Structure 1
Amino acid sequence: MIQFFFEDVDPLPFDKKTIGWLRTIIENENKKQGKITYVFCTDEALLKINQEYLQHDYFTDIITFDYVKGTTISADIFVSLPRIKDNATTHNKSFNSEVHRVLAHGILHLCGYKDKTPEESTLMREKEDFYLAQM
């Protein structure tokens, strides 16, 4: 099950196509879908989560709480909609494209991809671009 929740932000109209696309990413990465919950929120809410759970004192666009068991991926994924809007402007991308990039980014983390080193970030971006092209 993939669910979307919105806290103190306007909801986005995700449809069956988006959910099917996310399932395709999971299947293509040889994983099984468990319960994945996306919670869209404000910058301030995500900053509080970042400070409380990760001891990081900065804004971010996504935080993924990974509950993966074996090949079944499950998670709570928190996403800042204001950060996505800013990133879309900064990177000269559409808001819709940036939303989908972040959705894929969370799934790719659950599939084992990291982005802490330059090499990991490059691979993550390549995977994001590959799946965005299939959207």
Structure 2
Amino acid sequence: MINFNYESDFTLDNEEAIATWLSAVIVSENKSEGEINYIFCDDEYLHKINVEYLDHDTLTDVISFDYTMGNEISGDVFVSVERVLDNSKDYKTSFDEELKRVLVHGVLHYCGYKDKSEADEILMRSKEEEKLTMFHVEQ
């Protein structure tokens, strides 16, 4: 089950379409869907989590906590809407596109993809692009 929670003024206007897409992404990776919670927040909220739980004193767009057991993926994905908006401007893409990239990024981590090394990051970006294309096909 994919849940959307809001700790800021932001709300998704297409929750059902996003949830359906993310479920399809999970299936496409031969995984089963557990409980995935997306928490939309602002920079301050996510910064506190970054400092408290990861000991990183930086702003970030997404932090995911992975509770996957075996083939069933589960976790909490915290998304700073402010960072996503800034990143969309920096990367010259729409807010909607950047938001979907961040949402699928969390799921891909749960599927086992990493982004710490250069090679891992290249694979992660490739998977993001592949999965973003799935959203357009389904709509």
**Alignment TM-score, normalising by the size of structure 1:** 0.97
**CA shift for structure 1 position 117:** 0.6
Q: d(CA) in 1 for partners of 2:12 and 2:60? A: 19
Residues 9 and 81, structure 1, Cα contact 8 Å, conserved in 2 = no
Question: Offset of 1:45 from its aligned partner?
Answer: 0.6
Corresponding residue for residue 69 of structure 1: 69
Q: Which residue of 1 aligns with 2:86?
A: 86
What is the 5 A alignment of 1:75-114?
Answer: 75-114=75-114
The CA distance in 1 between the partners of 2:76 and 2:15, in whole Å, is 19
The CA deviation at 1:12 is 1.8
Paired amino acid for 2:28: N
Distance, in Å, in 1 between the alignment partners of 2:23 and 2:54 is: 28
Unaligned runs of 5+ in 1: none
Range 105-114 or range 14-23, more displaced:
14-23
Distance in structure 2 (CA, Å) of the matches to 1:15 and 1:77: 15
Contact 1:84 1:98 in 2 (8 A): yes
- Give me the identity figure in percent: 48
**1-side partners of 2:115 and 2:67: how far apart?**
18
| Aligned positions, number | 135
**Structure 2: unaligned runs, 5 residues or longer:** none
Residues of 2 paired with 1:67 and 1:41: CA distance?
Answer: 20
**What's the CA shift string for 1:32-67, capped at 9, x where partnerless?**
000000000000110100000000010011000100
Could you list the structure 1 runs, at least 4 aligned residues long, displaced by more than 2 angstroms after superposition. Answer: none
Distance apart, 1:15 and its partner CA: 3.0
SS at match of 1:133: helix
| Superposition TM-score, scaled by structure 2 size | 0.95
